[in-house]
Structure 1
């Protein structure tokens, strides 16, 4: 077996960040305590949940605005940057971003040399539409010394275009930041997996890409969250366990990150990216006007 070209120990952190300005310090403290546990466990790429510094369920747009901060100069990002620099690791975390009077549900990527980049959630879930602006940065992939890193946030995984675009741009791993919520039953199957777990598994499989999905647990303002964090390999199957629905956990996976660039799919003649029929998809999916429709 050849030596790995980019050996990475990935960790996803599952915990319970609570909304409310009075909880911000505790959210940051607890998140970094678990991130330090991951560092001590050998991780050099750590993923935390969506809105991990603020909690999720705001009462109003004004409430969301009061929780927000600029990127990269706000207090949460500065604290996370200091942590990444101190421990020489890469950290992905979510927060409420303020840019002028606009608010975004944002994920940031930080590394040993500081701020690397951000992603603004493109697909807004439910009441998010009342306080956040849909993301306007596209789906960036960031080149780093350990590999190419993309991000998506929660509801984005329900839209197959998102992981596909990230993988088409050469992402070796997609960091998925989540606050997966309880929805009408059934929530879990007999194996204990939720639908979001299966969507993550499927997205990893059909795109030959690693996906590290960090979710949250707990309850706040009547909303409940269902955990189920996982790290999926390029074949889709979880590497190790899928986290439970109600406990703090740190999950790990040892991977050769850049192996995603040549991940095999069943046989030597099939390639999921090469075999795409882009000549047919556009008009039929509505990305361009269908020829059967009147001009």
Structure 2
């Protein structure tokens, strides 16, 4: 299984230009992976003057021109693309990730945890999402989601072997947290962060890049710098391994015992 990460700056609020850049990067790539991962909200940016700015850029997934364009690229390179695309659904707006192949949309994940920025713009997702590809079970988490071990444990219980993690973060805490989550839940965690910045009157969001793939052992299979680039990395997943489920059950059991001891004092 090969995974390609596209670490990119974002042409602010210019979906067409962002799609054009992705197409150029894939065309220049020597080897496109079985899975291609793009950052959170790769086609729009993340921080805006007003919620109306990003909400105007959100797309209905059943008629999304961004998803259609990515599907054409997925067909061209015989791959599956995982990309952060702002979503509108029945008058609500979501920080969502679309999973797309050459036939179109496979499914989507709506960010469950919310930063103060997310709360200004988006409704909260409430459902985990998994999909199978080449015998491997994948899950999706977005940026801040990774800070919550309970969410990642639920994915492990669902049999997820590789967690795909589109992100927009500026500090390196998420990189360390990624390593911890990979070890404690025995998952590969594939983090695709962006670079560059979003500038508004009240805030400047700066993004550090440093996308990485962390193995269940905690070993880094790759870590980017702070430039725009694409890298394709082979990961060896053993679908028969159930260590993660045992680990999750043990953690849950220990938590229950700790709770009982606390009540007995």
Q: Return the TM-score normalized by structure 2.
A: 0.89
Deviation at 1:223, TM superposition (A): 1.6
Distance in 1 separating the partners of 2:107 and 2:90: 19
Match of 1:189 in 2: none
Q: Which of 194, 197, 210 is 1:228 aligned to? A: 210
Q: 1:121 to 1:261 in 2, by over 3 A?
A: farther
Gaps of 5+ in 1: 1-7, 183-193
Q: 1:280 to 1:273 in 2, by over 3 A?
A: closer
Q: 1:212 to 1:131 in 2, by over 3 A?
A: same
* Contact 2:59/2:88 (<8 A) preserved: yes
Specify the SS of the correspondent of 2:120: helix
Match of 1:190 in 2: none
Match of 1:162 in 2: 151
Deviation at 1:60, TM superposition (A): 1.1
Specify the SS of the correspondent of 2:174: helix
* Contact 1:180/1:226 (<8 A) preserved: yes
Q: Which of 34, 49, 65 is 1:59 aligned to? A: 49
Distance in 1 separating the partners of 2:103 and 2:8: 26
Deviation at 1:65, TM superposition (A): 1.3
Match of 1:34 in 2: 25
Specify the SS of the correspondent of 2:45: coil
Gaps of 5+ in 2: none
Deviation at 1:255, TM superposition (A): 1.7
Q: Return the TM-score normalized by structure 1.
A: 0.80
Deviation at 1:274, TM superposition (A): 4.5
- Does residue 262 (structure 1) correspond to residue 241 (structure 2)? The answer is yes
Deviation at 1:148, TM superposition (A): 1.2
Q: 1:282 to 1:93 in 2, by over 3 A?
A: farther
Q: 1:272 to 1:283 in 2, by over 3 A?
A: closer
